[in-house]
Structure 1
Amino acid sequence: QVLEGLLYLHHERHVIHRDIKPSNLLVNHKGEVKITDFGVSAVLASSIGQRDTFVGTYNYMAPERISGSSYDYKSDVWSLGLVILECAIGRFPYTPPEGEGWLSFYELLEAIVDQPPPSAPADQFSPEFCSFISSCIQKDPAERMSASELLNHAFIKKFEDKDLDLRILVESLEQPMNVPE
């Protein structure tokens, strides 16, 4: 659903969201995922337009945005890749060595720009999922897939015919818990 939302933003509205992060992806009571908070989004004049301003939540910024280069719609794909990976592994993908707390602002920006991108552990996830994440978080935006390309990725196609209903999950979360006294 998020990829379809990005496809709509990018191709129909010519908008870069510029702040895709977990708190800006919401699930309503019907199980529909919604992209929210368009406070720093930008309109491009065309589908090949680019921007060069530094706005949004730096944790999820694509390397080209941090380094001050021009960027386009694919910067949203980088952010989405980090969000999905974070959900999968249960922690933010850029973390310091064990037991060292959090990366500082500058350490994080340096890691995003200079270190290899994080990846899904191949021993914990399917090859299709690992490939999907890798396709999202390529350092070079020219090598990064677009939202429309990702909708045709093997990982997405694998679930195309499945009846995945987030509404059921949301309803189960809304049920009061029976906590023993």
Structure 2
Amino acid sequence: MYLHHEKRIIHRDLKPSNILINHMGEVKISDFGVSAIIASSSAQRDTFTGTYNYMAPERISGQKHGYMSDIWSLGLVILELATGEFPYPRRESFYELLEAVVEHPPPSAPSDQFTEEFCSFVSACMQKKASDRSSAQILLNHPFLSLYDDLNIDLASYFTTAGSPLATFNTSNDKQLVFLIFCRPFCQMHVTPILLLFEWTSLSRES
């Protein structure tokens, strides 16, 4: 939300390998190499850059795009984190992926595996029409997040317990950034702090 509303920046390459987490449980967004600054909240860009697997329909088809393209990418990332696999079936070429993203219904969270709130959150991100997607501000007030408002979720402890991908790192180095590795089982309580990446205010203090 900080990038979108205060800095007017579109990241344009949100994907799992660009989401980092340290031993404090703080989520960071990396790789701003293809990000763009736009003039206003309604402005758009028309350049084609970024990892096409996570591109929104308007981006992968070469149309103008804005903040809502990041929201689509967020939905794909969250769904992939939750299920442990990329939401689209493997495609042999760019054009097959283009057809799947533009012509087919968007991926959704299996209703028999996840809560109604989580499914609704993913759906709010992954609407084919950019104007139908929820903004970062609206998503932060989504029922999926409010379900856990009263819980003190210690993400740092989760990632540094025995068996965790981060357990082998030196926990005294709380500035050590590592790639967020998919974990199974992966429940909504683990997704919730990651969704707060849209607050991004910590980036302004360290950039």
Would you call these one fold, judging by a TM-score over 0.5?
A: yes
Counterpart in the other structure of 1:83? 77
**Aligned residue among 125, 135, 140 for 1:146:** 135
Gapped runs of 5+ residues in structure 1?
1-6, 97-101, 177-181
In the aligned structure 1, how far is the partner of 2:46 from the partner of 2:149?
36
Change (3 A) 1:45 1:154: same
- Aligned identity (percent) is 62
In the aligned structure 2, how far is the partner of 1:157 from the partner of 1:46?
29
Letter aligned with residue 30 of structure 1: M
In the aligned structure 2, how far is the partner of 1:51 from the partner of 1:128?
32
In the aligned structure 2, how far is the partner of 1:156 from the partner of 1:79?
18
| Offset from partner CA, 1:97-133 (integer Å, 9 cap, x none) | xxxxx44221111101110000000011100000000
Counterpart in the other structure of 1:11? 5
| 2:64 pairs with 1:70 | yes
| 2:110 pairs with 1:116 | no
In the aligned structure 2, how far is the partner of 1:67 from the partner of 1:125?
31
SS for the counterpart of 1:34 is: strand
**Cα RMSD between the aligned structures?**
1.1
Question: What does 1:148-167 align with in structure 2 at a 5 Å threshold?
Answer: 148-167=137-156
| 2:100 pairs with 1:106 | no
Q: Confirm or deny: 8 A CA contact 1:95 1:103 kept in the other structure.
A: no
Gapped runs of 5+ residues in structure 2?
169-207
TM-score (norm 2): 0.77
Q: Confirm or deny: 8 A CA contact 1:14 1:44 kept in the other structure.
A: yes
Counterpart in the other structure of 1:179? none
Q: Confirm or deny: 8 A CA contact 2:159 2:167 kept in the other structure.
A: no
SS for the counterpart of 2:131 is: coil
In the aligned structure 2, how far is the partner of 1:80 from the partner of 1:160?
21
Q: Confirm or deny: 8 A CA contact 2:121 2:144 kept in the other structure.
A: yes
SS for the counterpart of 1:31 is: coil
Query: Alpha-carbon deviation of 1:161?
Result: 2.0
| 2:80 pairs with 1:129 | no
In the aligned structure 1, how far is the partner of 2:167 from the partner of 2:26?
18
Letter aligned with residue 95 of structure 2: Y
Question: What does 1:51-66 align with in structure 2 at a 5 Å threshold?
Answer: 51-66=45-60
Which deviates more, 112-121 or 162-171?
162-171
Using CA pairs under 8 Å that are at least 6 residues apart, name the structure with larger relative contact order, 1 or 2.
Answer: 2
Q: Which runs of 4+ in 1 moved over 3 A?
A: none
TM-score (norm 1): 0.88
